[in-house]
Amino acid sequence: MIEMNMTQYLSENPGLKYLFFGGKGGVGKTVLAGTAAIWSASQGKKTLLASTNPVHSLSSLLMQDVFGRATPVNGIPNLDAYEIDTKDTIEKSKHEIREKIEWFLKFAEVKTRADEFVESATMNPAFEESAMFENMIDLMFEDKYQVYIFDTAPTANARRLLGMSSVYSMWVNKMVQSRKEAMSLRDLLSYSKRKQEKDPLMDYLLNLRERMGRAKSLLTNPALTSFFFVTLPEALPIAVITRFISWFRDFGIPVGGVVVNMVIDKNSVKEDAPDFVKNRVAMQDEYMQTIWKEFNGQVRAIIPLFDNEVRGVDRLKHMAKFLYT
């Protein structure tokens, strides 16, 4: 039995500003984020629905082009949707890295072309993930909306960033310290007492430290942030969110609860239903037992399997009746 449903949870946490939907692929994260965004906008809150998904999921969900910039959603006051251009984000990030590396090579008087360094720094999935993460926290820091709903929780990233953040800050502190020492040594040694030049590397490190700290304080604040995990009554999706939830607990990232999606309505399954349907219902029943046990007190909503895919604002509004009963 649901102890505290979504509506109760939100009214107990009225200041929530950053909502995320995580879970295995295909479980309904995008449709649930869309549903939550429409509901939030209907409560009169200026809301942004954002996606860092490389596929055009939001445009397809809303049946409207929301690619590349925050775009008002047709027929829904207070709601903008924004599909972040991943390619563009990654290119910009590469460009910035190149500038820093070039500056550094010049500074260190190393006569190597920057290309190799740039390649090795950017040719890995972690780089792309962190470029998207940077983009997400930029949006958060801009602070133009009252509520932000992120379609795909960059789960691995949030975890990595937050898990790493103490290591990061130790590392950055050390770097800053040795930069300072190097700078003052240079001052002492230089005959001309000319004013120090600007140091882009130092600026970058200080800025990084500050941004990491801010991101962490927002993402670990239970009054502002909540991660919701979506599952189906099936083995794999349950295993995935069980793991996520325990990671998140460890890092102090607030978990808002679990949404169970695509549950077959038993009353609609008659005696003469085909076996594969009956078997599926029996399987779902069993996994529902697991869900009640594993996520005791954290299930916020149970959403039926509809007879059609969920696309367009009307279907999302219909879904909202189940997410917010």
Ligand X SMILES: Nc1ncnc2c1ncn2[C@@H]1O[C@H](COP(=O)(O)OP(=O)(O)O)[C@@H](O)[C@H]1O
> Which residues contact ligand X (rule: CB under 6 A)?
25-31, 261-262, 303, 305-306, 309-311
CB atoms < 10 A from the CB of 194, how many? 8
User: 10-49 mask for Mg ion (x: CB under 5 A)?
Assistant: -------------------xx-------------------
* 57 touches Mg ion by CB under 5 A: yes
Is 118 or 136 the residue whose CB approaches ligand X more closely? 136
Helix axes 275-294, 235-251, angle to 10 degrees: 20
Query: b/e string for 78-95 if b means 16 or more Cβ within 10 A?
Result: bbbbbbbbbeebbeebbe
Shortest approach of Mg ion to residue 152 CB, angstroms? 6
Shortest approach of Mg ion to residue 51 CB, angstroms? 7
Is 197 or 307 the residue whose CB approaches ligand X more closely? 307
Nearest to 135 by CA among 50, 72, 222: 50
Q: Report CA torsion sign: 49, 77, 42, 216.
A: positive
* 71 touches Mg ion by CB under 5 A: no
Amino acid, single-letter form, for residue 94: K
Two tokens, residue 105: 């090579």
Shortest approach of Mg ion to residue 34 CB, angstroms? 10
Is 30 or 47 the residue whose CB approaches ligand X more closely? 30
> Which of Mg ion, ligand X, none interacts with 155 (beta carbon under 5 to 8 A by kind)?
none
Shortest approach of Mg ion to residue 228 CB, angstroms? 14
Please identify which residue in the block is written with the tokens 């609609």.
268
**Spatial contact of 144 and 48, defined as CB atoms under 8 Å apart:** yes
Is 25 or 274 the residue whose CB approaches ligand X more closely? 25
Rounded CA separation 30/33 (Å):
5
Two tokens, residue 165: 């953040």
Shortest approach of Mg ion to residue 29 CB, angstroms? 5
Is 164 or 305 the residue whose CB approaches ligand X more closely? 305
Residues within the interface to Mg ion (CB under 5 A): 29-30, 57
